[in-house]
Structures are given as C-alpha cells and as structure tokens.
A and B are shown apart, each in its own frame.
Chain A
C-alpha cells in the first residue's frame, strides 16, 4: 500500500487500482486510443480540448488527425460553443476538459448551445468524483447531478478500460449530446473482453439475493470485489452496474431491487442528485418500499490529499463497501 500511496501522492495519479488489492492489468489511455481508431472510419469526428489534451488522453487522436483537432486554450465556454458550431457544419466533436470545468464553467453552453438544439457533441470529462487529490477545484463530485437536469443529455459513467472503449464507440453511433466521465491514464480492466455496453442499459454482473448493490463508474469494480468477498462469508450479494445515468434504466433497477433483501447504492459522486437519488426515485415510482443504503461522497467539499487516502476516508474502497454492507446486519 505504501508504494501505491506514494505513487498516488502525486495527485494527478488516477488512484484506480490501489484500492482493490491489485491483480488486474490495465490499459493506457483507452479513450484516446479508441477515438483515434474511430477517427479512421469516421471522418466527421473532430477533437477539441481546452488546454487539457495531455491530461484527458486525447493526444492519440490529435497525433493521428492534426487537421481535425483544435485546442482552444483555457476557455471552457468557448470549447463548448466552438463544438456546437462544428456540429452545425456536420462534424461530431469530442470535446475534453475536466468535469468541474465542463459543468460549473460551461453549464449554460452545454444546456443552451448543445442540448437545446440536440447537437451531436460528446463532452468527455476527466477527474470524475474523487480521482484527484487537488481538492474541490478539481474534484467533479456533483457533475452527474448537475448534468442530469439538462434535457436530452445522455450521461455515461464508465467503470473500466473495456467499458470506456465500448462507450466511446457507442456514443459515436448515438446522435445527440453526451457527457461521459473519463478514467484516464492507466485504467484497469475489470470487464472481460466481449462485455457489451449499450447506452441506457444496466447490466447484472453478479446474481445474489441477500443484498443488491446498484453501482456506477469505478464503484462497480469495488462492488464486484466486495460481492466476491461477501460470498466467501456466506452472504449472497448481487451487483447491478448502471453505467448510463441518463437515460436511466429504471426497469432494470426496479426488477433487480425487487429481488434482493437489502439495497445498497455505490457511486463516485455525492449521494445527492446522482445514482442514489435516481434509485430512490425509481423504487418509489415502482412502489417498492425498501430502504436504500447510499455509498458515495458527503454533501461537502473534499480536501486535498493522496487519492487512496481520500478514497479510504470517504468510503470509496472495496473494504468500505464490505464494511457498510456488513453493518447492515
């Protein structure tokens, strides 16, 4: 752990694989590689960034297609406005920045310039939730909640390298605005090759009836490891992975929740306005009267620090998921 902590103490490190005890291999820059590959068959794809190309893994696309790549500098409103203009000329822009900037700084542009006109722009947002130790300025802990309020915007929170590659292809096939959270750098592979990603579809990854974990983003990795550990302790834990936050697969969530004793949600996001809120709304609408235990970030700003330290402190580790479920009694 100390080695990982030191590595993650460089606060730009992802902190993806430190918390799960190793054993998984990883892939470098799965988003950028997938986009560069897509660019060969899709000449309409253009890439944009706001001075964060290096830090959002889009440079493989720039290197392959320099004439189709535009860096607008540190100007996120303009990033989204320019993307909107490009979309109106028939291009499919993939625009990258950090989640905090795509949401807090550029919100009016995402809402009005993109979503209101249903323009075909994909925003790919780095540093989702607690994946940086830079503190509240860089941690997009409320981005899912903010973006959920925008009509017609598709929102994806992928779990691993396999899903990022699959989702990059899927959102390119989808016509309309998308906000996708990005896991960057060295991203672990959790799902087997052949894992199918489909926009708007949740996936049952473990069957179980004592407890059902509904998770999104990298918390699904923790949920799977927790479920496997709990099974050894004699508890049957199911896992429903919900990578699409909007449109939300309410049907799958209700069906899953109806078949389990206890329900736990797990997200790399504040527990208000994101996955937990969606699950509670869904269960209420479906008339399922069960309590929901929410794993996620508290409704407050998070301090600076090493990513593994912060993830452990705020309960975003496998151990924390296991402990939370064990405490349900």
Chain B
C-alpha cells in the first residue's frame, strides 16, 4: 500500500490516558462522557451536550481545557446577543487612525457555548460558521482560530420556553451529541466530599500540551480503516436512509463524521486501526442528533429516545464484519 508514517499508537494511548485520568479526578464516574469528549477532541469535532442544568457540563468543558494547557472561554448565550459578541468587533483606533479588530471570546482553543438555543438564529449561525471552517471573516479580513479548536455547546432539552431550537442543518455541524446523566450514589458522595461548588475553584493542572493534541489530531486522520469496516459504515448510513420512520437519513457529512469518530476512538484506545466495535459503539452519539422522526413528538426527550431506539435496531440488524 502507500507509504505511511507509523502511528505511535502506544504513546497516543498513554497521552489520552493521562488526559482522561486527570479529567476523571474531577468528573466522577462519567467515564463514557469523558471518553466521548476526548474522542471529539481528537477527531477535531465539536460536541453538543444536552442535559439538565447542574450535571457538570461546564465543569467537564473546563476540566478538559485546563488539562490541555490551552485557552478556554465561556459564552453564555442569551436572546439579545449579537454575532459581534462572539466573534469580536472592529473598533476605530484614534491613535492608529484605523480600525483594529478586537477579538471576541470565540478566539480560544476550547469554547463553551452555554445554552446555545437561547440566542437568535443569527447569532447561532455566526457561531456555527466558525465551527465549520475554523476561520472568521470580518471586514474583509480573515482570522484563523488557533488549533486545536473545539466548541462544547450545551442546551437544556426540557425547558423550551423562549428558545430557538437549532435547525437540522446546524445540528449536523456537531460531531456528536451526548448527555451527562446523574452520577451514582458513591460518586455523588465523592463529589460532596470534594466540596467544590464552582468550576473556578477547581485545580486542574495541564497534563497534555497543546501540541500533543494537534499531533494526535493529525494521527487520527491516518488511522487505518479496513475496507469491510468502511462498507459497514456505509451500510449503517444506508440503513438510516431506508428506515421509513426517519424524515431523512444521515448526510454524507454524517458518514465522514462516523469514520472520523471511529478513528479517534481507535487511537484513544491505542490502536492504529479501526475495529467494527469502534463504529457500532459510536453510531448513537454521532447519528442521534442528525435524524428527525417523520412524525414529530411533542416531548423532545421522548423523541430522542425513540430515535435512539431505532438506531439501536439498525445497529443490531446490520451484520458486523467479523
């Protein structure tokens, strides 16, 4: 085959493990959520965390940013927010006699977009443009967001009063959607013992450098995916398109996302190749938010659950390559 740089899979595993352990010191008992966030980070995607307030969404994002030794900013979305509040604004400098660009909070490595559905579509779309291209054009000038760049958006799925739900096309930009869920008894006890109330009090020391992450991100794209596994991904996607319960199937972007996520998972586990389990375990988080039911349900939580049920059926019905 083609000449390929050898991926140092064990070293990647070790790096990821360090990162994971560090985050888990604070986010107790949420191994799966942490894994997903890390996979997203390695795949260079963005993640949408949907859950009730107070479950540690922000803390997770903060811990991640702090463990990596990179910049972190948090944007609390409100209905009166303008795109410039995110991107930044050009201000006329009296001394220089020209417009200088004042960078907005989006210029950080890890951006926490809190309650993204609270703001107007206009503002949402400005954020989403950045997410898609990792570039910002203001007044004819193009600014690049520093890599690694990752947006962790959150939204409350229950409280829908005065919100602007993200349209399908924009949901597609997120690599994954996930929920946090309640901690179990023992972990909650540990949380109590730690006694932190606010994420600013957390002491997370960086364990991984920014460059490490960028390097891992380049490796992810080279993780080997065997033909039958690729076929498996396509079969899964085709199955979503054939299911009559969905209004439409997963887009090719979704297909690419699943491949990227599977590659990232493989690397996170210290493998230089993708196995079918990488794919099948990530179908739900990667496809879940991209699909809409033909008959919309009144309760969004219920809708989400039935979408996931259908996806689970697809995963079970599609034969894995062995």
Q: Is this pair of chains taken from one and the same complex?
A: no
A interface residue numbers (CB < 8 A to B): none
**B contact residues vs A (CB 8 Å cutoff):** none
